Amino acid sequence: MSITKITPEYSVSTQISVEDVAEIAAMGYRSIMCNRPDGESPDQTPVAEIRAAAEARGLAFAFVPVISGGVAPQNVAAFEEALEELPAPVLAYCRSGTRCRTLWTMARS
């Protein structure tokens, strides 16, 4: 897990694991958003496991999957909707953090 703060209320990360969720909660994040499609890579932790760990720690969770290199307008709209509903600060993750950063940039432009 490698976290980059974009704003005080939004950060991005590389792929996280179930074990990372406790640290994420301890860092003060109130929500986690996954922007990586489930099953994209064989070594990827399934989104259902991350969601369960997050909810067990009292964190909100959103799943807004985006295909790598294929951010579409409907992805940006879903991202904006999720951000409106999630309590901040939010930690969004994908494989490298790039999709999360791209969604943020496109939503703000």
Q: What is the pLDDT of residues 62-71, one digit of tens each?
A: 999 998 888 8
According to CATH, the superfamily of the domain at 3-108 is: Protein tyrosine phosphatase superfamily (3.90.190.10)
Distant-in-sequence, close-in-space partners of 6: CB < 8 Å, separation ≥ 6:
12, 101, 104
Helices 73-85 & 98-108, crossing angle to 10 degrees? 90
Comparing CA positions, the residue from 85, 101, 94 lying closest to residue 65 is 94
Kindly report the number of other CB atoms within 10 A of residue 53's CB atom: 22
What are the residue boundaries of the structural domains of the chain, listed by start? 3-108
Q: What is the pLDDT of residues 16-72, one digit of tens each?
A: 999 999 999 999 999 999 999 999 999 899 999 999 999 999 999 999 999 888 889
